Structure 1
Amino acid sequence: MYDRMQEMSRQEMEKIHDAAMDLLKTTGVAFNDKEALEIFKDNGFKVEGTTVFFEESAVQKALETAPKRFTVHARNPEKNVEIGEDDFVFLPGYGAPFVMDAKGNERQASMEDYDNFCKLIQTSPYIDMNGWMMVEPADMPHQTVHLDLNLSNMLLCDKPFMGSPVSRQGALDGIEMAGILWGGKKNIMDKTVSVSLINSLSPLQFSDEMIGSLIELARHNQACVVASLIMAGGSGPVTLGGVIALQNAEILAGITLAQLVRPGAPVIYGSTSSAMDMKTGALSIGAPELSKNIHLVAQMARFYNLPSRSGGGLTDSLCTDAQAGAESALALYTAATSGINFILHACGILGSYIAMSFEKFLVDEELCGMVRNMIKPVALTDEAIDLDIIKQVGIGGQYLTHPKTFQLCRTEFFM
């Protein structure tokens, strides 16, 4: 297949791998969680303070137990999804503190906004899974808001959902609630019903909230996206090559811990690293560097036989304008064509994650449908080519009133 975007050679991927192994062995990764440090010590890892050092053999052993694909079960079995290899899913935006209303005004999000996004996801023919914290409701107590978000996810949408990795206890609360939905926690110990986002704290560390969540989720066989979001030139090297090596080390460190907790626990290799805007110090997710990273992340995940996460309808624009459409389409299309399996932020995001927009959600939703249609292979069977019709119409004829046009016009095109 011909593609002008960079396809790494086996030698180049091994170079990235070797660089990550060097970092893991000599510099290490900080884990700010006592249980995580004990798990590493019990498995023979070198630990100094909160820093864990990794031998390549230990990382390779962990990778051997991580599944290359898995099923996420929905309360409606018809909406179960497969993640990995050739299968991929679209999910909504994640983590926005604000909402952009119909008049273009940015305001704090409410629980009603969150519920409305859940309803949009339920009715969408293109969004495969519900998300988590599409917006952060400002009108709910922060100590318990994760319970309300979980409840809305479970009641208002029968698609698979994301978990609540706000803390170790938050993750456990989500697991308990999912257990109720499936008639008891024992019924989900061997059935993955949620996917949670575990982010590193670049460079080379994980917070106690993230690692506590990862441990409990892996222990209960719930999937984790171990993701690194590096700002090139800020929280990571200014070169994309350096970013790829650094994020690879962070991701593999988290995946190794998940496999130590429970060999075979489902994990996803993830990153949406991009450039830092040197004029403002902000992350630029509309930059082409994001799409270049997406393309390389998909390749590194396949190198390790792991599902991948990246991409989405991402933009720096603060409104649903031409800039938002162009940047979002670029990232979304790159993710789908590069082979990303878990496409988070597919719908609704504005302003470098600062807001969710109902208007942009609908625009992005249609983009998801168009992208899925674009990567669907064109039928080249004898029936599809249909030489008999072409000969029958002949030179200078028309196909508009042909019976086959009437037969297929509603199903052949995306419109």
Structure 2
Amino acid sequence: MSSLFKRPGKAAFAFVLVTVALDMLALGVMVPVLPKLIVEFEGGDLQRAASIAGVFSFAWAFMQFLFQPVLGALSDRFGRRPVVLLSNLGMGLDYIFMALAPSLPFLFAGRLISGVTAASLSTATAYIADVTPAEQRAGRFGLIGAAFGVGFILGPAIGGLLGAHDLRYPFWVAAGLSLLNAAYGYFILPESLAPESRTATVLWRSANVIGSLDFLRRDRALALLAVAIFLSFLAHESLPSLFVLYTQYRYHWDAATTGWALAIVGVSQTIVSGGLVRPAVKRFGESATLVAALGFGAAGFAVYGLAPTGGIFMAAPPLIALWAMANPSFQGIATRVAGASEQGRLQGALASLRGVSGMVGPLFFSQILAASIAADAFSGAGYLIAALLLGASLVIAQRALRGRSPEGAKA
């Protein structure tokens, strides 16, 4: 190992958790207000706003789809730290741009820029893979989910309260948090990837969408897992695509109520990600934990779609939270296949899958809601489709896991 590089210790893991929490807090404060700002720009036309919100989400995910593999390959070559820092700086400046947006096209341009710069979560996941033994990764990925949840406990609640006064205020708060995160990382966050573990050059053949997705075909189990992960990602897109406008339409919730509801979702996820993933994986193994989590998620989406009242609707977050055990298990299994110098490309490839789902999902789910509003018909269909997607993910994941040795089970 190079004498100039000192491998990060346990404190570095804590630094990454703070980084992710601040990123999610910055993102979370905008969740209750961005669709409502679109409604405002459209003169109160809720049906048209639902369609436009889907286009916004598609555009953001398309930029992620194009640039995440590039950022993953760059992090394998130059290290995780510079990618995280530039990402946070770019997001902070972009939130300022969005706060000042005078019209819908400017707001749309801001979302495009945000899609390019929002890379820190996948890079943070690669960071954790760098500094964590394989058998402990699922548990630590669960803690990343907990940090994610902390951001969504505070973020939507703050965004809802600020948005009740002015829909622009949350964007300024998000900008400040992202710039603070960039400063925090510059002075405190150490590098995780040793020089000898980096690629000699940027592998441009995998730093593009086709090469990135082809990376996932190298192993049959990994390819099947990739399909299952994609379906899980696609189901997840129903949450940001539907939650705000669906609850406004069906239950007549305002921005503050929506913010508190999203905070409850964040609390539930944090409890599960921070407190249940590690003991569940230790007791039952990654595979059994994954299958159970997908089943809980499918049940939660069914409740979302069928709930006749807002109170019953809010009985679903605990079930959705248990689904949060799926991604750490997926990640833990997948990182065993990739080598030390490939973790960035793996996370870039998985981020590409998220990008595809982020392009397809918002358009699909938002158009279902828009059509339901136009026809004055049953509006919970999108959530029921999400439940079916998780059911399919469960079946494919079981095929991928068949015959695997139970790594991490009852360690």
Q: Which category of TM-score, normalised to the shorter sequence, fits these structures?
A: under 0.3
Q: Give 1 or 2: higher strand fraction.
A: 1
Computing the radius of gyration from Cα coordinates, the structure with the larger value is 1
Q: Which has the higher contact order (CA 8 A, sep 6+)?
A: 2
TM-score, length of structure 2 as denominator length:
0.27
TM-score, length of structure 1 as denominator length:
0.27
Q: Give 1 or 2: higher helix fraction.
A: 2
